[in-house]
Structure 1
Amino acid sequence: MENWGAVMVDLVDMAEEFQAMNLQEKINARAQFTACSNYECEDCGEDIPDQRRAIGGVTCCIKCQFSFEAKQKHFRR
């Protein structure tokens, strides 16, 4: 039982390392969205709101994107 404290410290260290790696992955993924967004939806031609365009690389309005993702759920491999 004397090593119990050392085991807990190791677990905490591993959890902190995992959190740091997870955060860095999310930061790196966010940096990849540097493409310009469309002003109009490629599917329906409606204007894409500025809030959605701020994401970067957006090509469809939220309605068309939702429809696309709903269809994709049925065709997973």
Structure 2
Amino acid sequence: MAGGWSRDGAVQDQIDASVEDGVQRARSQLVKGESAVRCDECDCVIPEARRKAIPGVRLCIACQSALEKQETYASGINRRASKDSQLR
């Protein structure tokens, strides 16, 4: 049941769109192709087990961990907004 100016099912449509955006973003970040033997950042050897486990891997574990710490999550669009902003 929707309220106000929104139609029935609008909230679920927003949730579905947010999930689809997240899936597309994750798929776009997947690495494809041949795994590197040496890390692109520090030139250390990437263990064979890592290359087999993650096809297309380009970074060693240390460099990948450092990269992930630097990245910040930004969804771009706040479709649902917070209750606080709706109550003001």
TM-score (norm 2): 0.45
Q: Structure 1 or 2: larger helix share?
A: 1
TM-score (normalised: structure 1):
0.49
- Bigger radius of gyration among the two: 1
